[in-house]
Amino acid sequence: QVQLKESGPGLVQPSQTLSLTCTVAGFSLTSYNVHWVRQPPGKGLEWMGVIWNTGGTRYNSALKSRLSISKDTSKSQVFLKMNSLQTEDTATYYCARDPPLGPDYWGQGVMVTVSS
Amino acid sequence: DIQMTQSPASLSASLEEIVTITCQASQDIGNYLSWYQQKLGKSPQLLIHSATSLADGVPSRFSGSRSGTQYSLKINRLQVEDTGIYYCLQHYSAPWTFGGGTKLELK
């Protein structure tokens, strides 16, 4: 059964670094790409970046200077790190599997609030 | 960046009605277009991939079509469980971009 689950702190202080983990099951990270997508409260979806099955990455240029995506294939985990957080980074963060035909399975999301 | 202009932003329709939502791409994206449904507090669910292919387990009343750079999601015979917000996504080139969303409610 394909599953993705995001985990991380619910609250981050401004200017600090966000670290999220996406733990997957039911498929291998060597065969599928994984994307990160975020959604501010009451707003639409924003693509953040992808880690390809080969390990390469691609980021949204608007976030590129602050964002890093990596993975540990043996642990079936994908990691997101984003620094210099501001209040506008408050959002639900999702990871999603990509076959690649566009993301098919999504995690439940993790809500991150940036506040002092 | 490729812009995806989705319309309408909101829509109120009756049970059993036919509903159409469209996304206009700012340039050619081929068939690299997916449609998602999102219910309140839940993650997006894939409905259509490759512009016209129904995802596994999705009711056949949902269908996707393409005309040039305009993409459409059609819901035949709207059901109660079809309410929610619908998004298109282009994954032709990075950065991938979503449409702004269509909020579908029952009249």
Q: Which residues from B are below 8 Å from A when comparing CB atoms?
A: 1, 32-34, 42-46, 49-50, 53, 55, 87, 89, 91, 94-101
β partners of residue B51: none
Chain A residues in contact with B58 by the CB 8 A cut-off are: none
Residues A37-63: pLDDT tens digits?
999 999 999 999 999 999 999 999 999
Question: CA-to-CA distance for B59 and B47, rounded, in angstroms?
Answer: 9
3-state SS, residue A73: helix
Q: Quick check: A115 pLDDT over 90?
A: yes
Predicted confidence (pLDDT) per residue in B4-61, tens digit:
999 999 999 999 999 999 999 999 999 999 999 999 999 999 999 999 999 999 999 9
**Subunit contact A107:B43, Cβ cutoff 8 A:** yes
Per-residue pLDDT, B94: 86
Classify A96 as helix, strand or coil: strand
Which of B45, B95, B100 lies at the smallest CB-CB distance from A47? B95
Cα→Cα distances A87→A15, A112, B87, Å: 9, 10, 25
